[in-house]
Amino acid sequence: MSCLIAAPCSGSGKTLLSLTLAAVARARGKSIQPFKVGPDYLDPQLLGAVAGRPCRNLDPLLCGEEWVRRCYRWHGGRAGRVLVEGVMGLFDGRGSGSEGSSAAVADLLGLPVVLVVEASRQAGSLAALVRGFRDHGPPRVTLAGVVLNRVGSDRHHRLLAEALEAIAVPLLGVLPSHPSLELPSRHLGLLTPGELGDLGERQRIWARLAEEHLDLDRLWPLLAPPAGPPEGQDPIRWCLGQVAPEPPTTVSTATPAPGPLPVAIASDAAFHFRYPEAQELLSACGLRPVPWSPLTDEPLPADCRAVLLPGGYPELHASQLAAARRSLESLGTAARAGVPIVAECGGLLLLGRELEDGDGNRHPMAGLLPFSARRGALSLGYRQALPGADGLLVRRGEVLSGHEFHRWQLVAQPPLADELAAGEGLWQLEGWGTPARIEGWTTRTVHASWLHLHWAGCPAIPSRVARAAASAVPLPRNAVSFSPVSG
């Protein structure tokens, strides 16, 4: 049976332990499937890079409990080892409760918990802290043991070991102080694997440190995959099988395509916050995802039938995006031609008039929606979305669950004639501790919002993208008339 790696709070070392265990598995020649609890994008990218296979998010609030069970068993059953990294503190869920928390997922999947404790400023008090997490509930957890982070000395180590022995909780090792375990981060989380030029060397060091400092005789059995063969069908097929048929809403004027319809997905250092299931669901719906890089000024792929703009860090690349006139022009041409466009969070920022970078400099964007964007207060948390009208992706009367996480905010501006302002008011967002508000833009061909959705929790959406793509006139090969920006 696998375990769930949790902690009293964020920053304790969950990701460090997960990365070192994944590195050990790869060094031993074993396949390992990583999972991440919650709506994270950055930790999964690192875990996936080290493990050598996509990290899967287990989020019952976004996807439902049945999806979490099926995803865990299907993907976990196809690897030699499995690890599940928790989110935030062990009992941190929606609002002040434990709904959707690491503890809730451990209970749902029947996983014991390995607790990672940052112990740099405590000794005997460690026992009280660990006992509290062991005995707290609901849901109750089975504590397999503790891994200590930032142990200061051999004497400190002995003090902490005695404190755990007094409450009969196994000590499963320590994470030593080492430069390779210092992971750089920015305002939304860790740097991406592509920004860690020494990731391969770090991985070798992590494997060595794990062999030296972790009790792998006890931890290795806790990485066992689910017992028995994977149950049921591929969760992607199962997911799409939950979608109720919908009546046709438009008559296609597009020329039938000989194969899967191409869909452009912004994929570069500015746009990379997406779950692997999104691409898999699109492919299963008869579409062909094509990577597209606005950051390198690529025009949209010829004949593309839809455009997806996922989240990421456009604010860090605002100057380069502003100079990518060919990409922005082709995006505008696609919007005016009625090619379906789906934008969330960072992708939304590309559609506005201006994007302010971290230094306060303003940069022109695609100019399709009437706002400018600048750094502001943090918006973070799960949201319930109630659509106000039928649109490209959603229908009036539906209730969707999503997650919001951004520090840039929008400043509304009067709409211009060539913008898509008529679709303002996609849905009402509600969340714990936040006032309800109307947010986003929607038309028959545009969906733009701050809200991140996991499509496994709303599988009608990729089906609707496929239907809209089939009805769209493909972007002509000579659609973009490009002229360099002067000055």
**What are 413-466's pLDDT values in tens digits?**
888 776 775 566 899 999 999 999 999 999 899 999 999 999 999 999 999 999
- Give per-residue pLDDT as tens, 91-111: 999 998 999 999 999 999 999
Exposed / middle / buried, residue 121 (Cβ in 10 Å: 0-12, 13-18, 19+): exposed
Average pLDDT over residues 34-39: 97
Does the domain at residues 4-222 carry the CATH identifier 3.40.50.300? yes
* Residue 485: band (very low, low, confident or very high) from pLDDT cuts 50, 70, 90: very low
Predicted confidence at residue 249, as pLDDT, reads 56
Predicted confidence at residue 335, as pLDDT, reads 93
Predicted confidence at residue 484, as pLDDT, reads 34
Predicted confidence at residue 474, as pLDDT, reads 85
- The contacts of residue 183 (CB under 8 Å, 6+ apart) are 15, 16, 46, 190, 191
Predicted confidence at residue 486, as pLDDT, reads 31
Predicted confidence at residue 250, as pLDDT, reads 52
The DSSP symbol for 223 reads B
pLDDT exceeds cutoff 80 at 190: no
> How far is the C-alpha of 288 from the C-alpha of 229, rounded, in Å?
30
Hey, which residues are catalytic here? 345
Q: Please name the residue ranges forming H helices in 85-240.
A: 102-109, 125-135, 154-166, 199-213, 216-219, 235-240
| Beta-strand relationship, 341-344 and 189-190 | unpaired
Q: In which residue ranges of the chain is CATH 3.40.50.300 found?
A: 4-222
Phi, psi of 56 (to 5 degrees): -105, 135
pLDDT exceeds cutoff 80 at 409: yes
Q: Put residue 46 in one of left, alpha, beta given phi > 0 → left and psi -120 to 50 → alpha.
A: alpha
Predicted confidence at residue 421, as pLDDT, reads 58
pLDDT exceeds cutoff 60 at 112: yes
Phi, psi of 367 (to 5 degrees): 70, 35
What mean pLDDT, rounded, does the chain reach? 91
- Give per-residue pLDDT as tens, 42-80: 999 999 999 999 999 999 999 999 999 999 999 999 999
Q: In which residue ranges of the chain is CATH 3.40.50.880 found?
A: 246-471
Q: Coil, strand, or helix at residue 335?
A: helix
The DSSP symbol for 2 reads B
> How far is the C-alpha of 410 from the C-alpha of 450, rounded, in Å?
10
Average pLDDT over residues 321-348: 96
Q: Put residue 229 in one of left, alpha, beta given phi > 0 → left and psi -120 to 50 → alpha.
A: beta
Predicted confidence at residue 479, as pLDDT, reads 58
pLDDT exceeds cutoff 70 at 238: yes
Phi, psi of 416 (to 5 degrees): -105, 165
Average pLDDT over residues 360-366: 97
pLDDT exceeds cutoff 80 at 258: no
Point out which residues pair with 387 in neighbouring strands: 427
Q: Coil, strand, or helix at residue 461?
A: helix
Instruction: Please give the structure tokens belonging to residue 276.
Output: 């692997």
- Give per-residue pLDDT as tens, 81-91: 999 999 999 99
pLDDT exceeds cutoff 90 at 194: no
| Beta-strand relationship, 143-149 and 171-175 | parallel
> How far is the C-alpha of 143 from the C-alpha of 153, rounded, in Å?
25
Average pLDDT over residues 373-398: 95
CATH of region 246-471: 3.40.50.880
Report the predicted TM-score, pTM, of the whole model to 2 decimal places.
0.92
Point out which residues pair with 344 in neighbouring strands: 449
Predicted confidence at residue 254, as pLDDT, reads 54
Predicted confidence at residue 348, as pLDDT, reads 97
Segment among 41-50, 167-176, 181-190, 431-440 with least mean pLDDT: 181-190
Q: Please name the residue ranges forming H helices in 338-482.
A: 346-350, 460-471
Predicted confidence at residue 253, as pLDDT, reads 53
